[in-house]
Amino acid sequence: MLLSSPDVGPLEESYLIRALRSGWVAPAGPDLEAFEREVADRVGVGHAVALTSGSAALHLALVTLGVRPGDAVVVPTLTFVATANAVAYTGAEPVFVDCEAGSGNLDPELLDRTLRDLRRAGRRVAAVLPVDLFGACADYPRILPLCAAAGVPVLEDAAEALGATRDGRAAGSFGRAAVLSFNGNKIATTSGGGMLVSDDGDLVAHCRYLATQAREPVAHYEHRAVGYTYRLSNLLAALGRAQLRRLESMMACRRAHHERYSKLFAAAAGVRLLADGDPGANRWLTSIVVDPTVAGWQAADLAGHLAARGIETRPVFRPMHLQPVFAGARATLSGVAERLATHGLTLPSGSNMTDAQFARVTSAVEDFLTRG
Ligand SMILES: *Cc1c(COP(=O)(O)O)cnc(C)c1O
C-alpha cells in the first residue's frame, strides 16, 4: 500500500479526453485559463499562472521578486528539497531556520533572530519562504508582521497545502505570492504541474511572460530577458480542473484518515500526531512523532513492521542543513527539525485508500502496539 498515490478516475478521464478532442493539445488553451481562474478563486486571490511544476513556480516567483546572486533567502530547514533548490537556482543563498515542535513549521522566534543576525551582518534578505508543511499553514499571524517590519517579501510555499486554511484564510493567500504543486503525490494532481498565485497582477503577468521564453508581444521573436519554458499544458490543466472539482471530497478522505490515526494512537504512550488539532490543515499527509523513551520503541521499528506487511511509510523530511548539497549553509537551529526527522513517521494518507486498506493499516499498527 502506497503512502499517497494519484487519485484519478472517470471524471479526470472525461476532462482529459474532452481537452484532447477539442484540439487544444498545444500548450495554451481554454482549460489552462479556466484552471488558473478556478484555482485563484479557490485560494481567494486575484491572479494565477499555471506552470510545469511547483519548483518552476518557486523559481519564477523568486526571480520576479528580484532575488539576485549573493542575496539571502530564509527557508525552513524542515521541508522538501525543492524549496531550497529554487533559491539555489537564482544564485542566492538559502539560510535555514529551525521549526516549531508542534507543527514542524517555521519557528517565528528563530526567524526573528535570523533576520536580525542577517541585518547585523549587512546581508540583503530578498525573501522569506515559509512552507505549509504536510498541508498545515505556518504561523502567519506571527511571521507576516516580522517580515513586514524587516521589509522582506514573503513567498508562501503552499505546495502541499491546497485546500488548507488558517483563521479562515486559504493557504496560498498569505504572502506577496504563493506556490502550489500538482505533482503526482500531492493532494490534487495534474501528474506534474504547479501554479503561482498572487493578488499582485503585475507580478503574475511578469511570471507568465518569463514562463514562455520572455517573448515580446511582436511577430519577430524579440527577447529582452532570459526566459524559461515553464508553462503547464492545456491537457494537464484539464486534468487539474477535474481534480479541483473533487478537492473537497479528496480532502475529506484525508482528514478522515487523520481522525482515525488520532484515535488509533490516542492510547499509545509517547506518540503524537504532527500539527494535531489544527482545524484548517488539509491533512495531505499524517505523520506521527514518537518519543522513544516513553513509547519504548522507535519510529523506525514501526516502519519496519509495516514494510514487512507491504505498507509504505516515510520518515519526515531530512532537514536541509543536514543535506550534503547544502553543507556549510548558514542555519539557525534549535534541534527540533532533527528530532522530528529522527522520530517522525509519515503514514499512508492517500484519498484513494479504501476502508479495507485502511483497516489493514489499522490492524498492522494495533498488532505492533500490542506485541509482547
Ligand atoms: C512538492 C513540493 C514542492 C515542489 O513541487 P514540484 O511540483 O514537485 O516541483 C515544493 N515545495 C514543497 C514543500 C513540496 O512538497
Tens of pLDDT, residues 191-236 = 999 999 999 999 999 999 999 999 998 889 999 999 999 999 999 9
Is the CB of 181 within 6 Å of ligand 1? yes
From 4, 58, 83, mutation site for ligand 1 pocket: most ligand atoms within 8 A of C-beta:
83
Is residue 307 a part of any domain in this protein?
yes
Query: Distance, CA 83 to ligand 1 centroid (Å)?
Result: 7
Name which residue sits closest to atom 2 of ligand 1, judged by CA. Answer: 159
- Let me know whether 101 and 194 are in one domain: yes
- Rounded Cα distance, 106 and 275, in Å: 13
Q: How confident is the model at residue 372 (pLDDT cuts 50, 70, 90)?
A: low
Average pLDDT (50-57) is 98
Q: Write the pLDDT tens digit of every residue in 87-139.
A: 999 999 999 999 999 999 999 999 999 999 999 999 999 999 999 999 999 99
pLDDT band at 371, cuts 50/70/90?
confident
Distance from residue 370's CA to the centre of ligand 1 (Å): 37
* Nearest CA owner, ligand 1 atom 6: 54
Ligand 1 in contact with 138 (CB < 6 A)?
no
**Domain count of the fold of the chain:** 2
The residue assigned the cell 484513494 is: 352
229 with 260, same domain: the answer is no
Q: What is the mean pLDDT of residues 237-256?
A: 98
Indicate if 184 and 252 belong to the same structural domain.
no
pLDDT tens, residue by residue, 174-187: 999 999 999 999 99
Whole-number Å distance, alpha carbon 219 to ligand 1 midpoint, is: 35
Q: Is 258 found in the same domain as 143?
A: no
* CB-ligand 1 contact for 131 (6 Å cutoff): yes
- Note whether residue 165 is domain-resident: yes
pLDDT at 64: 97
Q: Which atom of ligand 1 is nearest to the CA of 56?
A: 9
Ligand 1 atom closest to the Cα of residue 82 is 10
pLDDT tens sequence across 155-174? 999 999 999 999 999 999 99
Domain boundary pick from 245, 271, 291: 245
In a domain, 325, yes or no: yes
Instruction: For ligand 1, say whether the CB of 132 is within 6 Å of any of its atoms.
Output: no
Same domain, 34 and 86: yes
257-281 confidence digits (pLDDT tens):
999 999 999 999 999 999 999 999 9
Tell whether 169 is covered by a domain: yes
Distance between CA atoms of residues 210 and 215, nearest Å: 8
Compute the distance from residue 179 Cα to the ligand 1 centre, in Å: 9
Residue 57 has pLDDT above 90, yes or no: yes
Q: Is 160 close to ligand 1, i.e. is its CB under 6 Å away?
A: yes
Which CATH number covers residue 70? 3.40.640.10
Look at phi and psi of residue 102 and say left if phi exceeds 0, alpha if psi is from -120 to 50, else beta. alpha
Report if residue 263 sits inside a domain.
yes
Q: Where is the domain boundary, 182, 215, 245?
A: 245
| CA distances for 171 relative to 26, 138, 168, 282, angstroms | 31, 9, 10, 10
* pTM tops 0.95: yes
- What CA–CA distance (Å, rounded) separates 361 from 352? 14
Evaluate whether residue 3 is within a structural domain: no
Looking at the domain assignment, is residue 269 inside a domain? Answer: yes
Same domain for 80 and 18: yes
Whether 349 and 239 share a structural domain: no
Last residue of some domain: 227, 245, 263? 245
Q: Do 42 and 67 share a domain, yes or no?
A: yes
Q: Which of 141, 180, 218, 236 is nearest to 49 (CA)?
A: 180
Q: State which residues form the domain around 190.
A: 10-245
According to the model, what pLDDT value does residue 17 have?
96
Instruction: Write the CATH number for 297.
Output: 3.90.1150.10
Whether 221 and 256 map to the same domain: the answer is no
Does one domain contain both 252 and 332? Answer: yes
Residue-averaged pLDDT of the chain: 97
Q: In angstroms, rounded to a whole number, what is the distance separating the alpha carbons of residues 178 and 127?
A: 12
Residue 4 lies in a domain: no
Q: What pLDDT score was predicted for residue 350?
A: 96
240 and 304 co-located in one domain: no
Grade residue 27 by pLDDT with cuts at 50, 70 and 90. confident
Closest atom of ligand 1 to 183 CA is: 7
Instruction: Please indicate, yes or no, whether residues 253 and 344 belong to a single structural domain of this protein.
Output: yes
CA angle at 108 for the pair 317 and 336, rounded to the nearest 5°: 40
